[in-house]
Amino acid sequence: MAGSADFDLYRPSEEHDMLRETVRALAEAKIAPFAAAVDEEARFPQEALDALVASDLHAIHVPEGYGGAGADALATVIVIEEVARVCASSSLIPAVNKLGSLPVILAGDESLKAKYLAPLAKGDAMFSYCLSEPDAGSDAGGMKTRAVRDGDHYVLNGVKRWITNAGVSEYYTVMAVTDPDKRTKGISAFVVEKSDPGVSFGAPEKKLGIKGSPTREVYLDNVRIPADRLIGEEGTGFATAMKTLDHTRITIAAQALGIAQGALDYAAGYVKERKQFGKPIADFQGVQFMLADMAMKLEAARQLTYSAAARSERVSGGSAKEDLTFFGAAAKCFASDAAMEITTDAVQLLGGYGYTRDYPVERMMRDAKITQIYEGTNQVQRIVMARNLP
């Protein structure tokens, strides 16, 4: 149970440490140089996608049987964390590829997995996740998008909102109502392709942060798809969606860790160089206490996130007693709150310079905010945790 005595501190292996070094070097060389421009121009980070695909880091969670690396949950966390350290928008490439495709991995049949996971693993396509709607956010069970069976096909109609990487991704996991009388037990999951007739997209949202990752509405206008694109059985879509979020909230925690680490690293370097009253401001106790608190919160968030990742991996391997729902929510909530505090303090440590776009910490502060909101607001995470207490 949550908070039980068998809680374990999860330590990355030597392979995980090597992966971190590889991803950090790649991120600093091929992603970081474009991060400011991606934010300023609100454009998709194509350079990051190209670099991640070339190194097979864009979707390392895909099992080996479908051409993927078969990486464990912690490895995926490390990739997202290290990319987010330099560019939060770019970290949504591996994060959302996992979010969009995990329902297929968890509940899809073998033919569906082979058809959609193989192109994802090759880097030929990206995957997005369509759950939220204009009137169904935290109350996802109140969705109105419909899927009606018509012979060997389903016909989908509705609008999905806040869809990350919409318009760029080729594949979309779409939750839709197949039996309106059963509420959440009448929701089913489907794979929709960007090229399907009737699929279109709204204008990109003008956001506070993660400006390089397009967020758009997805319109489904009499979209007719083969019935074999149903993920699992009819009526199991909502359960699949919730199981997916148990795993993928950890990737948002990872993104928060990376953003916070980037801000702390920059602020720690800055205060050693910035001089006031004849000495570096790093010599002042007030500054030292701020840095100490930032580092402490970050390390606590990291340990909680890594422990949640270990539980995610064990649940994927067949264990059903890992309290993943609690730990996934806790990691996401704690890490994102910590990231907001750490990035705000980083701006404070840079003073007036921190408030300008000439320095990256203001971008990191803006990017951190979304981690408290998407994949379930932190208020909802606290409800989830409370319901899963022993």
3-class SS letters over 240-286:
HHHHHHHHHHHHHHHHHHHHHHHHHHHHHHHHHHCEECCEEHHHCHH
Q: Are residues 221 and 250 in the same domain?
A: no
Alpha-carbon distance 359 to 371, whole Å? Answer: 21
- For 159-172, letters b (16+ CB in 10 Å) and e give bbbbbbbbbbbebb
Torsion region of 354: left, alpha or beta (phi above 0 gives left; psi -120 to 50 gives alpha) = alpha
Ranges under pLDDT 50 in the chain: 1-7
The whole-number pLDDT of residue 10 equals 64
Q: Are residues 370 and 241 in the same domain?
A: yes
Res 4: pLDDT: 41
- Asked if residue 217 belongs to a domain, the reply is yes
Residue at 285 is within a domain: yes
Q: Considering the domain boundaries, does residue 206 fall inside one?
A: yes
Q: Are residues 141 and 206 in the same domain?
A: yes
pLDDT at position 315:
86
Are residues 176 and 157 located together in one domain of the fold?
yes
Domain that holds residue 260: 237-387
Out of 215, 234, 253, a domain closes at 234
Q: What CATH number has the domain bearing residue 271? A: 1.20.140.10
Closest-CA residue to 223 (of 194, 261, 248): 194
Q: How many domains does the chain have?
A: 3
3-class secondary-structure state, position 217: strand
Write down the residue that tokens 């199981």 correspond to.
243
> Which of 72, 104, 122 is the last residue before a domain boundary?
122
Evaluate whether residue 6 is within a structural domain.
no
Same domain, yes or no: 225 and 310: no
221 falls within a domain: yes
What pLDDT is attached to residue 230?
A: 98
Which bin fits 47, alpha (ψ -120 to 50), beta or left (φ > 0)? Answer: alpha
Query: What pLDDT sits at residue 285?
Result: 98
Other CB atoms within 10 Å distance of the CB of residue 296: 11
pLDDT at residue number 244: 97
161 and 86 in one domain? no
User: Across the chain, how many H-helices and E-strands are there?
Assistant: 11, 10
Q: Would 1 be classed as within a structural domain?
A: no
Q: What is the pLDDT of residue 164?
A: 98
Among all residues, which ones are annotated catalytic?
375
- List 173's β-bridge partners, or say none: 129, 191
Distance from C-alpha of 367 to C-alpha of 257, rounded to nearest angstrom: 12
What sign does the CA torsion over 49, 55, 56, 61 have? negative
Among the listed residues 274, 291, 290, 271, the one whose alpha carbon sits nearest the alpha carbon of residue 282:
271
What integer pLDDT is reported at residue 321 of this predicted model? 61
CA distance 36 to 41: 8
**Res 2: pLDDT:** 44
| pTM check: above 0.75 | yes
Give the per-residue pLDDT at 317: 72
**Is residue 300 assigned to a domain?**
yes
Sign of the torsion angle spanned by Cα atoms 309, 366, 99, 373 = positive
